Chain A
Amino acid sequence: MPEQTTPTSQAAELRRLATRLQHLRLLTVHRLAGGDTWVGPPAQACHDALRRHAMLVVNQAEHLLAVARRLEWEPQP
């Protein structure tokens, strides 16, 4: 029988996912793709793309934490 999902357990799942996202190597890998490594338009495009992905994931992690907080404050059934 599947475990019943409650707001509290959902919040915990979201927090776990947020923590995983916040520790991804993706968040810093763009630093290795800067001008010390390579230069030129493709290099710049790579650096910018990696940074953009990092930003998006960071934003998602923050959103997950915000949703988790909201779930934890909701009245329990």
Chain B
Amino acid sequence: MTVLGYDPAQLARLHLHLRATLGELQQVAQAGGGTHPAAADAIATVRRALRDIENVWRPLVHRVLSDDPLRVRGDGTDLFDTPVIRLDAAGVRALAQMLGTANLDELTSDPAELRVLAAELELIAGDPTRRATFARHFHEWARLADALATTRMFREADGDTADVAAIDAVLAGLAHALQGSDLSDTLTVLDELQPYSAALVVQYLQLDPLALAEMADTLVLRWCDEPWTEDSIGSPSQFADRSHPSPADVLFPLLLAAGPEAAERYVSLAGAHPQSLFAASTDPALAHQLMLTATDPANVPVATAGRLLVPLLDWFRDGYPGVEGTAVYDASWPLLLADAIAPWTMQLGPLNHDWQLTADHQRDLVALLAHDGATIQRLIERADVVRSRVVAGVTAGNAAGDLDEFAAYLGMLTQVIVEGRADEASRERGWSMLLGVAGVGLAFVPMTVAASVFVNTALVGAGMFDPTDVAGARHDAEAAKEHVLTVAAASVAAAVHQQWLADGVLPGDFPAPPLPDPTAAHLGVAFRDEFDTWLTTLPGGDEGTMADHIDRMVSALMNGADAGAAVVR
């Protein structure tokens, strides 16, 4: 069994220094230190060091240097019968050659042996010449790495962490020995390994985020497509239920640790084959986290989010080709869908073109969102995210066209939430959410902070944002839509009026526009009637420019909803 690897030049240096050290210690011991007992203690300590080095360590170093272990290594002696190896170029070559023919069952079952081999590999990795020599003479990367990965699988299942650590140390040594090689050589080596073994090596290669993402994509896709063979890591039955060790379980945590750039790149690549994201890890939470990190508004602009999300949403829309009942079936995808789309609901609005989707495509994705009660329930739970992103989207521009878009979006969202199969409690929360989003309409009116506070207070005081007053609307989509959009329209009208007062366009005592009556049978119709009457009181009457301005905004909200709602049907 190998117990020692060494660099002859370094060891010779150590030998010289040990000899000089002994000389110094002898001088101190002979000179003594005076009569004080403390000096006697110190001299005794020096003598103990002197004896130990003289009798044990210098002779050991001398013996290693005097022997010719390379001859032992070179004569066909088994790796495990060799007590000492030289880690100069010739020794590295000998180690590489012997590793190529070693009995790997013996090696992988001996943690002590593995630890020494790991240390030898690190010694090789630390020097470019040794590394190059090793790369030139070691040709059995796949045989060794796959054997280590297979044993690791069993040891991990047994909970044998010490053995797993010993194996990981060798895999790290192999990775470090590979590092610094030509990239194409590294890729050639990794290509020969089973995907899981390659992932175990890749995790120690210290790749940059983009390279890591691309490597992960290659390996996970290979894992997804590979049939069982005798070289595979995992049994045929594990392959049948796809529970064999997966590179995704090794590399997804690394991608997440590497930051949003790595997640974005991986998710971008996975767009072409989403099974590598959703059906490769035994822990769906990892895939979810990758997707959410990659499409987080804090990390990506709108267009990029669409480029990343739409292919993945399409994959779910097309029926999710995962095999139900397998270890990698992700049953929680409806929740993921809501989490992923919550920041981007405006982009599914019928008049929104941020993602350049066709109307049919947009309709399909909205239908996917509305398809599952769990998705809607989750979306309602994420109301704060939905609303804050709508606020961000709306305040980015105040054109009249944006108001139309907002109205259509609001109609679509109302239809999705109210018609969805959410339970009673969720309907209540959903209703609050819709009214909260409706209040975002205020952002279309440029107002001072004081005016904004005044309008909000008036609307809240009138019960406009109190969902419990409109029981019917919780169950009827049409009534709900009417209520939500009327509240949004009334909010905007109140805001415009308030601003006119502030700007002196209207006298301070000019009456405010009507507020919807929560008890009215047809909230919208009643509001519209009262609002039309109010328009006639404006300077210029209901045909004047002021009436035209405020009527355009109110009408956009009250009429635009139909377009949005139609998308869901």
Q: Which residues of A are in contact with B by a Cβ distance under 8 Å?
A: 5, 10, 13-14, 16-18, 20-21, 24-26, 29, 32-33, 35-43, 46, 49-50, 53, 56-57, 60-61, 63-64, 67
Contact (Cβ within 8 A) B4 A38: yes
Besides the known contacts A17-B28, A49-B52, 11 further A-B residue pairs in the complex with CB atoms under 8 A apart: A20-B31, A24-B21, A25-B21, A29-B14, A36-B7, A39-B119, A40-B116, A40-B119, A46-B57, A46-B61, A64-B42
A5 CA / B3 CA spacing, docked (Å): 54
Residues of B near A41 (CB, < 8 A) are 3-4, 112, 116
> Does B436 lie at the interface of the complex (its beta carbon under 8 Å from any beta carbon of A)?
no
Residues of B near A61 (CB, < 8 A) are 42
- A sample of 28 cross-chain residue pairs with beta-carbon separation below 8 angstroms, ordered by A number, consists of A5-B35, A10-B36, A21-B28, A26-B21, A26-B49, A32-B10, A32-B14, A36-B126, A37-B13, A37-B14, A38-B5, A38-B7, A39-B87, A39-B116, A40-B3, A40-B116, A41-B3, A41-B4, A41-B112, A46-B57, A50-B53, A53-B53, A57-B42, A57-B45, A57-B46, A60-B46, A63-B38, A64-B38
Residues of A near B17 (CB, < 8 A) are 25, 29, 32
Q: Which residues of B are in contact with A by a Cβ distance under 8 Å?
A: 2-7, 10-11, 13-14, 17-18, 20-21, 24-25, 28, 31, 33-36, 38-39, 41-43, 45-46, 48-49, 52-53, 56-57, 60-61, 64, 87, 112, 116, 119-120, 122-123, 126
Give the interface centre of A20, A40, A57 by most chain B CB atoms within 10 Å: A40
A34 CA / B61 CA spacing, docked (Å): 13
Say yes or no: A37-B35 contact (C-beta < 8 A), given A29-B17, A50-B57, A56-B49. Answer: no
Residues of B near A60 (CB, < 8 A) are 41-42, 45-46
A22 CB to nearest chain B CB (Å): 11
B207 CB to nearest chain A CB (Å): 25
A58 CA / B39 CA spacing, docked (Å): 13
Main secondary structure of the interface of A (DSSP, over half): helix
A5 CA / B57 CA spacing, docked (Å): 39
Residues of A near B112 (CB, < 8 A) are 41
Residues of A near B56 (CB, < 8 A) are 49
A36 CA / B42 CA spacing, docked (Å): 31
A3 CB to nearest chain B CB (Å): 11
A24 CA / B36 CA spacing, docked (Å): 21
Contact (Cβ within 8 A) A14 B4: no
Contact (Cβ within 8 A) B7 A37: yes
Contact (Cβ within 8 A) A43 B6: yes
A57 CA / B56 CA spacing, docked (Å): 19
Contact (Cβ within 8 A) A37 B10: yes
Residues of B near A46 (CB, < 8 A) are 57, 60-61
A14 CA / B33 CA spacing, docked (Å): 7
A7 CA / B28 CA spacing, docked (Å): 22
Residues of A near B20 (CB, < 8 A) are 25
A72 CA / B286 CA spacing, docked (Å): 68
- Residue in chain A with minimal CB distance to B86: A38
Residues of A near B31 (CB, < 8 A) are 20
A36 CA / B123 CA spacing, docked (Å): 6
